[in-house]
Amino acid sequence: MGTQLGALLRDLDVPVVISDTNHRNLRSARDLGVSVFYGDVLSEAAEHMLELHRYDYTIALSENEAYNTLVT
């Protein structure tokens, strides 16, 4: 679901990046041309590597509701 939503938003010229700690989960997003970040979006590395100012919204779609709350 996240990959399809990311591709749709990208097609609407909305800046999108999909983050996951599992490299395999990012394959379909990469194949669709959606920007990806391999790692924990809450990590210090993400803070330094991602240009978060480009994004107006955050959508967290993991299966872990507590983690999603921390992200948003």
Residues of the chain above pLDDT 90, percent: 81
The pLDDT confidence band at residue 53, using thresholds 50, 70 and 90, is confident
Q: Are 19 and 36 in contact (CB under 8 A)?
A: yes
Q: What is the mean pLDDT of residues 31-40?
A: 94
21: which DSSP letter?
S
pTM recorded for the entire structure: 0.85
- Provide the 3-class DSSP secondary structure of residue 30: helix
12: which DSSP letter?
T
Closest Cα partner for 10 from 25, 24, 31? 31
User: Residues 55-72: pLDDT tens digits?
Assistant: 899 999 999 999 999 998
